[in-house]
Amino acid sequence: MFFQLTEKFEEIVRKVRGYSRLSEKNIQDALKEVKVALLEADVNYKVVKDFIAKTEAKAVGQLTVKGIMPGQQLIKIVYDELINLLGGKTQLLELNGPAPSVIMLVGLQGSGKTTTAGKLAVYYGKKGKKSLLIAADTRRPAAVEQLKVLGRENDFPVFHADKEPVKICREGLEKAKGEAFDLLIIDTAGRLHIDQELMNELAEIKREVKPAEVLLVADCMTGQDAVNLAKEFNDKVGLTGVVLTKMEGDARGGAALSINWVCGKPICFVGTGEKLQALEPFYPERMASRILGMGDIVSLVEKAQVVQTEQETDKLAEKIRKASFTFEDFYSQLQQIKKMGPLESVLGMLPGMGGKALKGMKVDQDGLVKAEAIINSMTKSERAHPQILNGSRRRRIADGSGTSLQEVNKLIKQFEMMNKMFKNMSGLKGSPLGRIFSNN
């Protein structure tokens, strides 16, 4: 996520940290590099111009602050302005009115509206809210069936009727009221490009159902096209927020850094993968930290908390403390890591693992599959007592898993290194990761 932009900012941060004093000259020199980095990331030119002007004004106005290193002072100002550019604070959806609260999704074809509708149902389902989804996209032949399949596979109902979209939404709202649904999520029709007919239809649906939220679903990898799209939809239909999809594949970040400034609407959610669980609230301060190469430990810990209970974490910590961590435990941890999402995204949350550290790095997803196959080819005794894995046993495991002896040896070595790391690591106390890594 934003690897190219993070790489540029990491280089700038390293230079700025070396400043022994701040002057107008070195502030301007640093901000010239920031400007180039933002423009190369496809951030809107007017946005960049405003960002640089505000940052320079604050930096020059605070040339020295007692007790703070000059370079750190400038980095803090850039960080604060990045947060403002990204929206300032997390914007939660306003869903506190009379039930059902209506969420209307709009956007172009291919932006991910239908999948996002399912993701929202899953996200709010975990918060105890019961959702009814309306298949109001009667234009795209597969849209209704796609939503029905998502509903069947994830246990949420989908309403559809062979009628005009406005009538479908009206009847769906009546059903939601009659059956005490908390949320009504409407998947509207998209187009390959904006046209007046589309806008008229969306405006009519909006008048009919009076949604609490009108969210634009936009593909962030389209950069400035997504920003222009947000402005047009906001001008013609009226938005309350934006959902950016495919964030996990966006190396630049131009859309995320421009949308709020251009159309004045917050990014509420981001899609970070294809699975319906891959939807996250957008946190400006966390994203600013990642862009500057400082990582996002808070999100990483939250992901760990979701996939592993406190009881499971404490049990694992006890095993590690007693040096009884086995391949059974190793296999369990591989499953937990897979649930946390794409490995590139997870690694990108670690400080120092954005930008340059991940540039050109291809995380070996196949390696996880091979590791599982190797562990599954071990006997119960071998998994519980790794020390008995001699040469003949390793060759048998390689044959049984369809891997090579070298790959088996490599995994066993990684397991041994992990054991040593767990014994030596300390800190991060007070979190699930802390309890795993702490010997205290």
Q: Hey, where are the domains in the chain?
A: 3-85, 101-291, 297-437
- Between strands 279-281 and 267-271, the pairing is antiparallel
Q: In DSSP terms, which residues pair with 104 in a beta bridge?
A: 186, 214
| Calpha distance 185→301 (Å, rounded) | 30
Name the CATH code of domain 3-85 (choices 2.40.128.20, 1.10.287.1770, 1.20.910.10, 1.20.120.140): 1.20.120.140
Q: Is the dihedral of CA 333, 246, 109, 95 positive or negative?
A: positive
The pLDDT value recorded for residue 400 is: 93
For domain 101-291, give the CATH superfamily.
Answer: P-loop containing nucleotide triphosphate hydrolases (3.40.50.300)
Same fold, 3-85 and 101-291: no
For domain 297-437, give the CATH superfamily.
Answer: Signal recognition particle, SRP54 subunit, M-domain (1.10.260.30)
**What pTM did the predictor assign?**
0.69
The pLDDT value recorded for residue 432 is: 40
Q: Is the dihedral of CA 46, 51, 56, 61 positive or negative?
A: positive
Give 59: exposed, middle or buried? Use CB within 10 Å, 0-12, 13-18, 19+. buried
Q: Give per-residue pLDDT as tens, 350-406.
A: 444 454 444 444 445 567 788 889 999 999 999 888 889 999 999 999 999 999 999
SS3 content of the chain, % helix, strand, coil (to 5): 60, 10, 30
The pLDDT value recorded for residue 406 is: 93
Residues with pLDDT less than 50, the chain: 67, 295-301, 303-308, 349-353, 355-363, 425-440
Tracing tokens 């070996």 back to the chain, one arrives at 364
The pLDDT value recorded for residue 238 is: 93
Check residue 212 and report its DSSP letter.
S
Beta strand extents in 84-130 (DSSP E only): 101-106
The pLDDT value recorded for residue 379 is: 94
User: What torsion do the CA atoms of 110, 114, 116, 121 make, to the nearest 10 degrees?
Assistant: 180
The pLDDT value recorded for residue 110 is: 84
| Calpha distance 355→373 (Å, rounded) | 32
| Calpha distance 385→368 (Å, rounded) | 21
Collapsed DSSP state (helix, strand, coil) of residue 58 = helix
Residues 6+ apart with CB under 8 A from 66: none
The pLDDT value recorded for residue 321 is: 55
Q: Which two tokens stand for residue 258?
A: 């421009």
Tracing tokens 């701040």 back to the chain, one arrives at 22
Amino acid type, 359: K
